[in-house]
Chains A and B, each alone.
Chain A
Amino acid sequence: MSVVESVLGLVVAVLLAAVGELVSDEIRARLDRIPQGLLRMASKRLPPEQHRTIYAEAWLPELHHILQGDEATPITRLIHGIRFAASLWLSAPKVGRELSADRAFVGSADTTWASLFPYGRDIFYEGKDPVGFVRQIQAEFGFSPALDPRWGEQIGDDTYSFASCCFYCPAEHLDAIYGSDRFPMGS
């Protein structure tokens, strides 16, 4: 075998290895979309007002952990991811029903949001005028939700993404901001 043939063989081998890796990455990325798609289908079975709180904040980060976490090996993560999403698809309506009474629960007795969350909690503005909301909160309550680093953060994957208006609300303002009907809020 000539030197030229050897070099050519080596180049072809390197090229094949590189292409193989690209194909493998491509397949891996496409396979990851199966549990993501299943989870999106599960989210459509939730009441719309729980889309963000349950799907985007609780389920999607867990699926991300399953698919991308340190222990994620290719086959195992796919199996775990599909099982995670499929099981949630089955039970999503039940989760929605359990949580839909959440807001009715507070205010039914002597319960206040401040008593439930004495250290305050993260809440979300879900209206169409975040700038106006920030201005109003600043004027009435003396703090700016926009100073929270998570305000306006982009959440979600490539196909499902939105700007999150998350901020920390001190306990003393929870009932006036989160617990009243004045502002469109979620948690």
Chain B
Amino acid sequence: MPAEEIRLTTTVARVLREFLETPSEPCYGFDLMRATGLASGTLYVILARLERAGWLISEQEHIDPVAAKRPARRLYRLTPDGAQAARQELAELSEKLRPPLPVRTRLGLQGGTS
């Protein structure tokens, strides 16, 4: 299923970049918060948006809470379509945000005399 389009803000880009570091590895919410520096309220809105758009899936981790002495946490993982879309969107964003060449270099490239 192709992923829906997502409006790529810088905060969304930070989350996607973190997922793309290890695309096959699922992430916990709190670990994503620490890695991206985003507040929980910001992060979970983004995760919900990405999940609704089909870029992410979430699932409960498979542990025995009694043995682990903690509740099962939710894991988030990029879908294959989501990973592809994220790579493309981040590359486009990076291109848009690339600073222009310095004026002197541009003149040089245009064949100006020195």
Seen from chain A, the residues whose Cβ lies within 8 Å of a Cβ on chain B are: 54, 57-62, 64-66, 68, 83-85, 87-92, 94-95, 98-99, 101-102, 105, 110-111, 115-117, 121-122, 149-150, 153, 155, 166
A166 touches B60 (CB 8 A): yes
Shortest 5 CB-CB contacts between residues of A and residues of B: A91-B41, A87-B41, A98-B48, A87-B39, A61-B71
Which of A68, A84, A99, A102 is within 8 Å of B40, CB to CB?
A84
Whether A102 and B29, one on each chain, are in contact in the complex, defined by CB atoms closer than 8 angstroms, is no
Chain A residues contacting B42 (CB-CB under 8 Å) are 87, 91
Please give, as numbers and ranges, the residues of chain B lying within 8 Å of A117 by CB-CB distance.
57
**B48 touching A99 by the CB < 8 A rule?**
yes
CB-CB under 8 A from A155, the residues of chain B are 71
Contacts of A116 in B (CB 8 A): 1, 54, 57
Shortest Cβ gap from B81 to chain A (Å): 10
B-side residues, CB < 8 A to A, are: 1, 28-30, 33, 39-42, 44-45, 48-49, 51-52, 54, 57-60, 64-65, 70-74
* Contact present for B60 and A122 (CB under 8 Å): yes
Closest residue on chain A to residue B53 by CB atoms: A105
Instruction: Tell me whether A66 and B30 are in contact (CB under 8 A).
Output: yes
Report Cα–Cα, A59/B43, bound state, in Å. Answer: 12
Q: In the complex, given contacts A105-B52, A155-B71, what are 10 additional A-B residue pairs having Cβ atoms less than 8 angstroms apart?
A: A58-B58, A59-B29, A61-B71, A68-B70, A87-B40, A87-B42, A88-B44, A95-B48, A122-B59, A166-B60
**CB<8 Å pairs between A and B, sample of 20:** A58-B44, A59-B44, A62-B29, A62-B74, A68-B70, A83-B39, A84-B30, A84-B40, A90-B41, A91-B40, A91-B44, A91-B45, A94-B45, A95-B44, A99-B48, A111-B1, A115-B1, A117-B57, A122-B59, A122-B60
Tell whether, in the assembled complex, residue B70 and residue A65 are in contact, meaning their CB atoms are under 8 Å apart: yes
Measured between beta carbons, the chain A residues less than 8 angstroms from B54 are 105, 116
Q: How far is the CA of A91 from the CA of B49 in the complex (A)?
A: 13
A105: B residues at CB distance < 8 A: 52, 54
Provided the pairs A87-B42, A116-B1, A155-B71 are in contact, do residues A62 and B30 lie with their beta carbons within 8 angstroms? Answer: yes
- Per the bound structure, the CA–CA distance linking A3 and B54 in Å amounts to 76
- Pick the most buried of A64, A85, A88, A155: most chain B CB atoms within 10 A of its CB: A88
**Known contacts A95-B48, A98-B49; A88 and B60 CB within 8 A of each other:** no
In the bound complex, do residue A57 and residue B40 qualify as a contact, i.e. CB atoms below 8 Å apart? Answer: no
On whether the beta carbons of A88 and B40 are closer than 8 Å, the reply is yes
For the complex formed, measure the closest distance between the CB of B90 and the CB atoms of chain A, giving whole angstroms.
Answer: 21
Cβ contact of B51, chosen from A65, A99, A149, cutoff 8 A:
A99
- The answer for the CA separation of A43 and B112 in the assembled complex, in Å, is 65
